[in-house]
A and B are shown apart, each in its own frame.
Chain A
Amino acid sequence: MTTESAAPARGREYLDRVVIRFAGDSGDGMQLTGDRFTEVSAAFGNDLATMPDYPAEIRAPAGTVAGVSAFQVHISDHDISTPGDSPNVLVAMNPAALKACVRDLMPGAAIIVNVDAFETRNLDKAGYAVNPLEDGSLDAFTVYEVPMTSMTLEAAKETGAKPRDAERSKNFFALGVVSWMYSRPIEPVLDWINERFAKKEVVRDANLAAFKAGFNFGETAELFQHAFEIAPAVLPKGRYRNITGNVALSYGMLAASRQSGLDLFLGSYPITPASDILHELSKHKSFGVRTMQAEDEISGVGAALGAAFAGQLALTTTSGPGIDLKSETIGLAVSLELPLVIVDIQRGGPSTGLPTKTEQADLLHVMFGRHGEAPVPIVAAKSPGHCFDAALEAVRIALKYRTPVFLLSDGYLANAAEPWRIPDVADLPDLRVEFATERNHGEEFWPYLRDPETLARPWAVPGTPGLMHRIGGIEKEDGTGNISYDPENHEKMVRLRAAKVAGIAKDIPLLDVDKVDGSRLLVLGWGGTWGVIHAGVYRARARNRRVDFAHLIHLNPFPANLGEILAGYDKVLVPELNLGQLSKLLRMDFDVDVVGLNKIKGIHFRAAEIEACIMELTD
């Protein structure tokens, strides 16, 4: 995993990448610790990718494995695309954290434990009969036993913090230790603590003391042989910031609102892992965005559809269970032919499933999950930053074709962060739409008189004089939109709606293949697995395997050249976090030998798994 460069100097090792996982109890502040480390590393110029992993229960029993909250960050001096497979360093704040994470470590990894927490009660709660620090079970690893709690208490003594409060600063002690190990500058963390806790002097001082104590401990303790250094990454020129998928998606929708000239309306009901989009968008009222926390999922999409009828940029956000409930309204949107973006942040299913874990198992659901012939275009984001572009693309299709569009993301993309090159606003696509203002059929207005090119119908919004019209879920007569039960008309309308969606294939980019000479194997991915597949392919190439790589952003319709591309290979490997949903669609549409690599564990692929599969297929 870790590649060491040739010249360690002054006791420092130069690494090109390292994966660190902070793990502790839900209340231990691990997400915050990880966030701080990420920010500092980004500011330092490292490329990075992160993966928070927290329990579904807000407060699972303290000290248990179910209550473990973890944050993994992968930092590197070169372009990376995944949060890393196996941590090089695990920071375990209690026995439960060790138990939950130790299986993910490779021999040789470093474990920094808060040894104060390894007492009988905590060992019992974590299900350890014997203290793992003493039974030799960790012999394959380098274990650093650090009394974080007691050293934090000691350090915070002078601040006047009560011991119970001071103990809560131990995450900053851990952050200090790791900051020293990886040569992070300390000023940004000090500044942040000063600002964040400006009004709570005692807490501020305790956190500052704990952080400095941890950093100094790293420097002075004999536990550490040497520190590590990771040089800044070489990324394309530009201005960067860190961004998570849900924030990027929210910004993408705000950008789409600006570029279309339409006010954004979000109707939503809280659900993990989509709620953060509602939270984020509700912060930006100055952009004219209306957010409505509805009484349920159905009302969320209903209000959005109403807003679409009224001429707004309509959005609803949810996860799989919410899509179940919204299905009937999405069918109505198909029939009404109004623009509506439906965001599905996929999580483990079925039913409540794994609310805080990732999965890609909603593809067939959004593709087919409505009664009747009800085609809906699908766009899927491939990385946290790409959620921004995917949102703009979903809006483009919705507005231009007057159709509901699914935008797929997942629990991993939603919460993971990566450096994001801030786009130039001047380069964003023009999404302006023209509302109908004139009667289009003599003295009458026909709401279903289509544009011959796109097959989109006119969008006449209430308030427009002379264009009053009624639309509904009952089958409509082609052109007039009046109720029609005529058999010929129904078949015509079904075919028109299908042709409209299929025709979008002419208006999306051709699939681009990352090629090498003489490859007979294509790895084809979709959605949030892009980074890890990319890494797996490049590792296999580094081992002299000829393998090509392509990634689908548009799942319905597919890019026009997909069939032609697939026909050019002996085998197509499709890695998916489901039982083979894209594989099924490909076999349906094309004569192709698809090999599925499927994982349904609520966690991401490891690049090594992709690599191993490619090695096998190219043997």
Chain B
Amino acid sequence: MTETNGHATTTTTNGAGNGNGHGEPVALKRKDFQSDQEVRWCPGCGDYSVLAAVQFLLPELGVSLENTVFVSGIGCSSRFPYYMETYGMHSIHGRAPAIATGIAVSRPDLDVWVVTGDGDGLSIGGNHLIHALRRNVNFTILLFNNQIYGLTKGQYSPGAAFVEIYQNCNVFNDGAFEAVTARDNRADMMIDVKHGQPIRFGKDGEKGVVATGLGELEIVDVASVGEDQLLVHDEARPDPTLAFALSRLADSPTQPTPMGVFRAVERPVYGDALNSQIAAAQESEGRGDLEALLGSGSTWEV
């Protein structure tokens, strides 16, 4: 039994998929999260790396197979649930956040993940995504953006986590973004942002980011402005302007591009609030009495 984010999650016991017959909690491994389905993405697709990374990550998080649900929409990335040995639903275009909200709200004991792509999540499903984030529903959204190839880092938190993953499409958009990802360019083109540290990049850390008086971000030579002028990243800043400015720093993946956790703030979780209202009602009124309800209001005998 591990306690994660206030919700009890058990590690897998016998019968949960890798039965050792003793009912003892066992530590899960990457292969436990692999389903028996053949992975059908194009050879060389970036989705393979994302899948592998998630299958590596989940055992580290200590979640169980049966309490994990992946929900996806439509698109290449949305085949993801089929390849996970967990509960899963491959739904319809753009609607995964809506469906996952129903699951997460009604079953706070589950670990719910949404897998979506830039078309599914940002175009047809844009409205659901906005409202899932606004409500702060307890699930993690992995958005595979195949505009740019990048690294993945699953984030696990109570409340909505939104992780944009740059994913290479080697069939339709291959290599177009080497400007950022090529080994020789990385140091100059990837800006690794870390909470509490000055934002600095380049082979020798010779470049950095400063904020102008108007709050706009600017890339500068550290030598010319002085190290103490660099912007110190604060992912917990209550207002979202810094996170937004970081997200807009590169107009296209041919410019230096920030990567990392842009924003991580505490907000009330939608499902928690809803379920606590129910708990409070049952505490004060007792469990609903149907007979009393049906006979409520003015009644008369015939």
Chain A nearest CB from B288 CB (Å) reads 3
A471 within 8 A of B: yes
Q: Which B residues touch A311, using CB under 8 A?
A: 106-107
**Residue contact A242 to B298, C-beta cutoff 8 Å:** yes
- CB-nearest residue of chain A relative to B84? A470
- CB-nearest residue of chain B relative to A45? B300
Listed in ascending order, the chain A residues whose CB lies under 8 Å from chain B are 39, 42-43, 45, 234-242, 251, 254-255, 258, 263, 265, 267, 284-290, 292, 294-296, 298-299, 302-312, 314, 328-329, 331-332, 336, 421-423, 425, 462-474, 482-483
B residues 82-132 in Cβ contact with A at 8 Å: 82, 84-92, 95, 98-107, 109-110, 127-128, 130-131
- CB-nearest residue of chain A relative to B78? A472
**Residue contact A473 to B106, C-beta cutoff 8 Å:** no
Nearest 10 pairs of A and B residues by beta carbon? A306-B102, A472-B90, A302-B98, A287-B288, A303-B102, A285-B281, A470-B88, A306-B99, A299-B98, A295-B131
Q: Which A residues touch B74, using CB under 8 A?
A: 473
Interface residue from A234, A255, A303, A470 paired with B90 (Cβ < 8 Å): A470
Q: Which B residues touch A309, using CB under 8 A?
A: 69, 87, 89, 99, 102-103
Q: For chain B, which range describes its interface: under 10, 10 to 19, 20 to 34, or 35 or more residues?
A: 35 or more
Q: Which A residues touch B49, using CB under 8 A?
A: none
Listed in ascending order, the chain B residues whose CB lies under 8 Å from chain A are 12-17, 19, 35, 37, 65-71, 74, 81-82, 84-92, 95, 98-107, 109-110, 127-128, 130-131, 274-275, 277-278, 280-282, 285-288, 290-291, 293-302
Residue among B67, B131, B278 facing the most chain A CB atoms (10 A cut-off): B278
**Residue contact B288 to A267, C-beta cutoff 8 Å:** no
Q: Which A residues touch B288, using CB under 8 A?
A: 254, 258, 284, 286-288
Interface residue from B103, B131, B280, B294 paired with A307 (Cβ < 8 Å): B103
**Residue contact B66 to A310, C-beta cutoff 8 Å:** no
Residue among B17, B294, B297 facing the most chain A CB atoms (10 A cut-off): B294
**Residue contact A240 to B293, C-beta cutoff 8 Å:** no
**Residue contact B16 to A465, C-beta cutoff 8 Å:** yes
Chain A nearest CB from B270 CB (Å) reads 9
Task: Give Cα distance in the complex from A43 to B283, angstroms.
Answer: 34
**Residue contact A241 to B297, C-beta cutoff 8 Å:** yes
Task: Give Cα distance in the complex from A292 to B15, angstroms.
Answer: 34
Given known pairs A42-B300, A296-B127, A299-B131, the reply for A467 and B293 (CB within 8 Å) is no
Question: Could you list 22 examples of A-B contacts with CB < 8 Å?
Answer: A43-B300, A251-B293, A258-B290, A285-B277, A285-B278, A292-B102, A295-B130, A298-B95, A299-B131, A302-B91, A302-B102, A306-B89, A306-B104, A306-B106, A310-B102, A332-B92, A421-B302, A462-B68, A462-B107, A470-B81, A473-B90, A483-B37
Q: Which A residues touch B110, using CB under 8 A?
A: 310, 462-463
Q: Which A residues touch B277, using CB under 8 A?
A: 285
Chain B nearest CB from A316 CB (Å) reads 10
Q: Which B residues touch A332, using CB under 8 A?
A: 91-92
Q: Which B residues touch A299, using CB under 8 A?
A: 95, 98, 101, 127-128, 131
Q: Which A residues touch B131, using CB under 8 A?
A: 294-295, 299
Q: Which B residues touch A423, using CB under 8 A?
A: 294
Given known pairs A299-B131, A303-B99, the reply for A329 and B105 (CB within 8 Å) is no
Q: Which B residues touch A468, using CB under 8 A?
A: 17, 65-66, 85-88
Q: Which B residues touch A288, using CB under 8 A?
A: 278, 282, 287-288
Interface residue from B15, B37, B285 paired with A466 (Cβ < 8 Å): B15
Q: Which A residues touch B105, using CB under 8 A?
A: 265, 290, 292, 303, 307
Q: Which B residues touch A464, using CB under 8 A?
A: 66
Chain B nearest CB from A280 CB (Å) reads 11
Given contacts A286-B282, A306-B89, 12 further A-B contacts (CB under 8 A): A234-B302, A238-B301, A241-B300, A242-B298, A299-B128, A308-B102, A310-B102, A311-B106, A332-B92, A466-B16, A470-B70, A471-B89
Q: Which A residues touch B128, using CB under 8 A?
A: 295, 298-299, 302
**Residue contact B102 to A471, C-beta cutoff 8 Å:** no
Q: Which B residues touch A290, using CB under 8 A?
A: 105-106, 274-275, 278
Given known pairs A295-B131, A303-B102, A468-B66, the reply for A473 and B300 (CB within 8 Å) is no
Chain B nearest CB from A182 CB (Å) reads 17
